[in-house]
Structure 1
Amino acid sequence: MPSTSIRKFDYDPNTKVLSVWFVASGKHYEFLDVPVEAFAAFNSAFAKGRYFNDHIRNRYAFRLVT
């Protein structure tokens, strides 16, 4: 299902970096050391924004990509 808060996302299994682009701010963040299992669950979640808020945000270190 399309998300109203997440424009797109990508995952690199070699570096375990989850890249997320947000709709409202237009900002792009990279979340570090995200296990492939967490990405798989995020990818298959019906509500991406809810899954992100409950399981990714505030659980992994991140950086803003400029």
Structure 2
Amino acid sequence: MPYVSSSAISRIEYDAATRRLDVWFTSGGDAYSHYRVPEAVYRAFLAAAPKGSYYADHVKPHYGAR
């Protein structure tokens, strides 16, 4: 479970078998699960700076969340 250095996001987890991406936020500790996320998107997310912008542009609008 990678904890990340970000003002908006505290932790990112990825399950390659189910292609589920879980994202925890620093404000309130809320977590969202995104489905059918390619592993390449997860790897780019880990490498991105700032992570909040990458999430807003490349994850949130493209992959359903619960």
Unaligned runs of 5+ in 1: none
Please point out which of 58, 61, 64 is paired with 1:61: 64
Aligned-CA RMSD value: 1.2
The share of aligned pairs that are identical, in percent, is 37
Q: Deviations over 1:19-53 (max 9, x none)?
A: 00011131111000000111111011121111111
Aligned length: 63
Partner-residue secondary structure (3-state), 2:36: coil
TM-score by length of 2: 0.88
- Return the structure number with greater relative CO, CA threshold 8 A, min gap 6: 1
Q: Aligned-pair distance for 1:8?
A: 0.6
Unaligned runs of 5+ in 2: none
TM-score by length of 1: 0.88
